[in-house]
Chains A and B, each alone.
Chain A
Amino acid sequence: MNRTAVRTLAAAAALAATAIALPSASATGTPASGSVALTASNAFLTSALQSGIAAVPLPTATGSYDRATGATATFPVTGGNAVLPRYYGSVTLGGGIAFADALTGKIVCFHQVSLSGRNQEVSAVPDGGTTPVNLFAYGDDTVISAIGATPETLTGDAAIPADGAAYLDQALGTTFFTANQAVGALSTTFTPAH
């Protein structure tokens, strides 16, 4: 394991240790449920780690790794008014995500995660900020469930939008991220509150 990889893993461990759980959303009746799962492919992970960059889900988001598909961050649904097959509204998500760069030593954490039904983008607010950043967008081969289906589903390739790439590079002091950079896959399941 080279020095960059060791420093990257150390940065990731530090991120995980300092993760702060968000309070879960209160609900009446049957609350909205489901999740948004972002899977970073092994190709993306390798490229990122070689550049010293790591990303870690923050509670109440969870992480997992599968040798075949890559690393997955799963964000639980906490609410939202989306009607995904009508490209309407948004889904609010728990947890957050942190990005770190081992070479620059910079870390940026995001919370207030949401999915836009209109733009099919996952955005989040950087800690200390107020303006959401579009971090991930649905790309090629995006398939949505039919109107009226329960749960509503949205699956497809994941990419980093231009504005998200620019923000991350600026925040981390890197030149790694690019517009429409392929990340892996996004998968959403959403059952509205009822």
Chain B
Amino acid sequence: MRSVTRKLAITSAVAAAVLGATVASNGAALADPPAGTTPAATDIVSAGSDTIQAFDNGLSAAYNATSPASKYYSWNATPAGNITPKSGASTIARPNGSGSGISTLNGNTNTTLDIARSSRGPNSGSSADWFIPFAQDAVGWSAYTGGNAPSNLTSSDLTAIYNCTITNWSQISDVAGYTGPNANIDVFVPQASSGTRSFFLAAIGVTAPQSCWNAATPEENEGTDAAFAGDVNAIYPYSLSHYVGQVYDGKGSGTDEPGVLDANRSIDGVNQIDTVNKVWNSNLSLTYTREVYHVVRQSDWADATEGPRLKALLDRSSNNGWLCTNAASLITSYGFQSLGNACGTLTAGN
């Protein structure tokens, strides 16, 4: 039985469609600008985070259906290679991950890239950019379905696993009812530019790469990666919003699926996923929740030409920014949770 929350989300999704959203009916978002479409020089384009790329593809479809003066297009994090984001832009290496998107934003002008998608927060020490949150996410852990990992790990366990103090499931001694087999834990992290990677490691207090980590760095939120195949000892961080979107909302596609991994597990005894309401559990510690952002140059935000294009999409609802005003149901339909009136708040950083 679906909950009232769920029904409201569905009702809202229908409302979004009435508003003109043209997200594919099965929920799978289009990747990159649609085939045959070259964004105009006056359009706004984004690149960067894998975690929010599916949402931004949906956002692009819904927003562009309203025929804005400047349309919005989102470039996926993969496949590797070069892209020319819009007409007149420089050809650049496709940014893969939040860090790569932000550095590409700051290394180019709005002739090439207008927005970086980011699942990490701002670094202090620079006021080059505005980080503009639009939703909340949580990051937890996943493991091979039916493998050797327990259903619950404490924060201390996660820290010890990722700093290599605990390397064998048999060393897990603080989970009631669990006796780990004598098997080495296979510790995975996403690729180095991943915002999910940096957030998760910071949350558990691990500051540098460790010797016990698997050399493979799979694309984040993709349990379909060949590195996980048959690996009953795999453990991997996972965006819980992305997981909900994949599992319950039909927003996965191709390799962008949980595959052999599942995140329906617990941290410190708190379930990561509310399987009844089919959302991530808002009772998770703040340590494991985060905001997700669109990042723009502060100079662009203040610019008389570029600023209105960005603000039409990203500004607060009080200033009629489309995302903050109209997309609450779209946000929840991708597994994220709404920020309410705080959507569109500016934080300086880079």
Residues of A near any B CB (own CB < 8 A): 83, 85-88, 117-121, 137-149, 154, 156-157, 159, 180
Q: How far is the CA of A149 from the CA of B123 in the complex (A)?
A: 11
**Which of A118, A141, A145, A146 contacts B342, CB < 8 Å?**
A118
- A142 to B, closest residue via Cβ: B345
Chain A neighbourhood of B121, CB < 8 A: 146-147
Question: Known: A139-B316, A139-B319, A140-B315. Is A120-B342 also a contact (CB below 8 A)?
Answer: yes
Residue of A86, A142, A145 near B291 (CB, 8 A) is A86
A-B contact pairs, 7 of them (CB 8 A): A88-B286, A118-B339, A118-B341, A142-B344, A143-B347, A143-B348, A146-B348
Q: Evaluate whether A118 and B316 lie within 8 angstroms (CB atoms) in the complex, with A143-B346, A146-B122, A146-B347 already known.
A: no
The 5 tightest CB contacts between A and B, nearest first, are A139-B318, A119-B341, A87-B342, A140-B319, A143-B346
Chain B residues whose CB sits within 8 angstroms of the CB of A83 once the complex forms: 286
Partner of B318, one of A146, A149, A159: A159
CA distance A3 to B346 in the complex (A): 44
Say whether A121 contacts B345, CB under 8 Å.
no
Query: How many angstroms between the C-alpha atoms of A141 and B136 in the bound complex?
Result: 20
Interface string of B45-75 (1 = CB under 8 A from A): 0000000000000000000000000000000
Q: Which residue of B lies closest to A139 (CB)?
A: B318
Which A residue's beta carbon lies closest to that of B130?
A143
A143 x B345 contact (CB < 8 A): yes
Q: Which of B232-288 contact A (CB under 8 A)?
A: 286
Contact call A137/B318, Cβ cutoff below 8 A: yes
Q: Residue B340 at the A interface, CB < 8 A? A: yes
Q: Does B349 reach chain A (CB closer than 8 Å)?
A: yes
Residues of B within 8 A of A144 (CB): 345-347
**Apart from A137-B318, A156-B345, what 17 extra A-B contacts exist at CB < 8 Å?**
A83-B286, A87-B133, A87-B339, A87-B342, A119-B340, A120-B342, A121-B341, A139-B316, A140-B315, A141-B346, A142-B346, A143-B346, A143-B348, A144-B345, A146-B348, A157-B318, A180-B318
